[in-house]
Structure 1
Amino acid sequence: MASVLILILKSDATESQIQHVIERVESLGFGAHLSRGTFRTIIGLIGDEQRLQSEPLSAIPGVCQVVPVMPPYKLASLDAHPQPSVVDVGGVPVGGGQLAMIAGPCAVEEPERMLRIAMAVKAAGANIYRGGAYKPRTSPYSFQGLGEDGLKILRDVGDTCGMPIVTEVTDPRNVETVARYADLLQIGARNMQNFVLLTEVGQSNKPVLLKRGMSATIVDWLMSAEYVLAQGNPNVILCERGIKSFDPSTRNLFDVAAVPVVKGLSHLPVIVDPSHATGKPALIPPCALAGVAAGADGVHIEVHDQPEVAKSDGPQALLPEQYAEVADQIRQLAALLGKTIAPLPSATSPGN
């Protein structure tokens, strides 16, 4: 694949150094295009992408900086795919003006409760049901999830309610197991740069929900998506879930500006998770609406019918009636923006 780089030369580069740079890059098989400015001289290079990346171009005398013209996240970029991508999640389209409404408890719990919550969020307008069967926790003594038993519960509930399901995969060794049950594989914030895990889910045939790491830049985030895309899996949905901040007022800093920034760089759908971003039920509705207004392709919200007994993240969960209210507000806002909440398929097939 041809690629383009720009060599910015030092302000005091001599004519002999400039000629040496041109001769050197041409000897490597690259095309060199010299441009002299008032304060700087630059040389544009065109050549094989692999060689451009492997050659120590910045070591050539007179070179100040090597600047890539194309972004490093080539498959995730708008250059590779100018139109917004639409990802099919068990029959629910996400992107292209169709919103994902992901809702459910943080962790999979007893079947009766899971079914009760699923029916409630579905009635409110949710189109993808969530629940964690494997839970990466800061403390080894915290509830770690029900494992494959939790996957079975989540799948059964999804099939009963006619909803596709999303759950987190935390270990490369579990990708095949989780993919048998889930319609959408979630990569959590802690694993955003677990490149072995990203490669494994990229090799699966399931869509991937990639959450932004707590300290990740937007380029870091898109490069993680590139790992999945590079394995031949084009179905990636990005999720902004808040980044670390110095201010303890909220659980994380909800970076709503990340939504339009990503939209200007990538064709991938991007949704927001105000539950993890804020950690406070009162802040979830306004931040959910802000995300949709900023251009998000969906909203990911934790819902529990009795937060005080939730096995994980109860304090940040909305009650079903609270979720119904914010879902209705999102529906009205979406209509103003020319978008719609993606409809549920007439029948959701099992994850396997």
Structure 2
Amino acid sequence: MPRRTRPAPTLGAVSEPTRSAEERLVNLVLSLRNTETGMSAAEIIEGVAGYAAKPASARRMLERDKEMLRDLGIELSTSGPAEEPRYRIEEGDYALAPLHLDAAQAAALDLAASAWRHGTLPATARRALTKLRAVTQRTGSGPDSQGPAPEEHAVPSLSADLAGEQIPEALVTAVDERRLVAFDYASAHSGTRRARTVEPHHLRMSEGAWYLEAVEAGRRRTFRLARIIGRVTPLGRAGAFRRSERVAPEPRSALLAIMPGRALALRLAGRSAQPSAAGHVSQVSQAAVEGRDVVAVDYTDPFSFAGALAGLGPAVIVLEPAELREAVVEHLRGAARACGGER
């Protein structure tokens, strides 16, 4: 008598009635790949998550799923009597050829996975992304290579909060109702905490981070939501101010000197340039730039872009504009102060 196959573990903590057809297909593939003797239709319906919720139509669902797998190029092997065949997926019929993604392809998948936070399979999407990162092409990561360090991956950091999970609900309501808000905010430059009371006009995402466009004491201000500390407290009545027109950020261009093989995301976003494009290497010694690649990169948010460049440390030197270079220096000084370093 054939050995009964233990069903494969299900994916995600989703209740039976709400399991999607996609998840049911994934569970079916996992089960049929992890059986040595195959599974009969009855065993699949009983043991694979997604079928038992609808026993009256389970057989029809299974037939549709088998056709769907064949359409996807996944062949099902059968054995046993024709009236009750046993199904399994052979490794050779399922395995793909070695997969290699370039940085642009992997970045697109990374961004898509970050947007899929409220789908049926969020945990599975993140696990798949981890595997995709593992097959992304790396350059010069060997022990004797002059390229990037092994820990620096070719995939740009695109874990953007497209679903808006970083936005406090109270702030969303205040923007909608045009109600003043109060919150504590940490300065990026000094790290000091200060209470702010502002008119919240617009929320926007820029370079992977959420920002609040507001008016404080009659002046336009921009606050990064990640630097808001604690609760956002609505104040006063609704309709307390007139919302200003949304102003599109003005595009800017930076000239960067990058160490060979480093800052792959910037290289992907930018274009090759020459120091002469800026007329001269302002306030940066020629020796410091020697041996580096000069890349021009466009950006719209000076604060966010300066923080990203500061995070790359000595791998990147800002040649132009001078205000961006100073902003990077201020980020580094703030980090040093926060860590108890020199001021």
TM normalised by structure 1 equals: 0.23
Bigger radius of gyration: 2
TM normalised by structure 2 equals: 0.24
